[in-house]
Amino acid sequence: MPVGTHGAVRGVLPDELQTIGARMILANTYHLSLRPGAGTIARAGGLHRFMGWEGPILTDSGGYQVFSLSNFRKIDDEGVHFRSHLDGSEIFLTPESAIEIQEQLGADVAMILDQCPPYPATREEVASAVERTQHWARRCRDRAKRPDQALFGIVQGGIFPDLREESLAGLLPLGFEGMAIGGISVGEPRSLQRRVVEHLAPRLPSDTPRYLMGVGFPDDILDAVAAGIDLFDCVVPTRHGRNGSVFTRDGLINIRNATFAEDFRPFDENCPCTACTGFTRAYARHLILAGEMVGARLCTLHNLSFYLDLLAGSRRAIESGTFESFRRDFLDRFPRSPETPSARRKTETP
């Protein structure tokens, strides 16, 4: 799912998203509730009509902001007290209000409000977050009223396998329409991330979507697909694109580098996107260095197309029973991402 935090995937129009194969996008409850406001969007006819996107939309609940805006919030069992990063006003986000906002937005998939602990965190801190997320999950389920909106649970538990299993066990009786793995990409090394996903994914219900939140780079995604994950979101393709970092079959390239000044090839020879069929690396480099927004748009369009094509190829390979060879062939060319920890935001902020 391309990330459209504020109701738009940065630099890309809805019809362009459809052309490159996007089926679903993600928007953010917390940010849209601040600006322009859930009421405004509801009066416009809902988020689909407001932003001109006809496909499905998933809205994050604001739980990730409990992590990413830790300097602007206080948390207790009732909910989260935020001080707006826009104007300093106070916002009290509860499980009930998180659902109410998502119902006003008219999302197809809503997420429960959860507590996402950072890495590293003590076992006691993570256990507390698991308990609070379970309490909030029940309140979200009790408040949800829209029959046309699926509600997904979120499994927490940090890097502790038993806490992950405890969190999942507490969520299963609530009968969610999908289950997500949260608390990933919050600073942990990739080896720990993979270990958590490989342990937990096969334990998620197999008859509903399995969603890995905020991940990631292409190799991360293929590892997670191999473990059984169905659904992903991440700002990596759009954020990297705006900064001139471009994904190719042979790895990530920085189009700003002088080596591309007279490189008249497309970003990727086999990519059918507009950026690759009509323009060159040299041209994109010129635009990025000149500060022309078209350069960022071309890089972003290509990166999203690259990701969507990777997932489409994965689906075809799964259907034909050749996924492992598909994955191996891709990773033989595409270098593994660094092991070093990094917290990769799930929202597009300036």
Distance (Å, rounded) from C-alpha 121 to C-alpha 261? 46
β-sheet bridge partners, residue 23: none
Q: Tokens 């996924």 sit at which residue?
A: 323
The two beta strands, 25-28 and 57-60, are: parallel
**Helix/strand/coil for 30:** helix
d(CA 316, CA 299): 26
DSSP 99-145: HHHHHHHT-SEEE-------SS--HHHHHHHHHHHHHHHHHHHHH--
Cis peptide before 36 (omega within 30 of 0): yes
Tell me, yes or no, if 142 is annotated catalytic.
Answer: no
Q: CA 219 to CA 237: how far, in whole Å? A: 13
- How far is 322 from 73, CA to CA, in rounded Å? 47
- Active-site residue, from 87, 233, 250, 329: 233
Separation of alpha carbons 38 and 32, rounded Å: 7
Query: Which residues, including other chains, have CB under 8 Å from residue 337's CB and lie 6 or more apart?
Result: 190, 216, 217, 219, 220
Q: Which of 60, 114, 220, 223 is catalytic?
A: 60
Q: Give residue for tokens 């991402």.
A: 337
Contacts of 152 (CB under 8 A, 6+ apart): 58, 109, 110, 111, 112, 176, 177, 178, 179, 180, 209, 211
Q: What is the DSSP letter of 27?
A: E
Backbone angles phi, psi at 79, to 5 degrees: 165, -155
76 is catalytic: no
From 348, 56, 15, 11, select the one nearest 46 (Cα to Cα).
56
Would you name the residues annotated as active-site residues? 60, 233
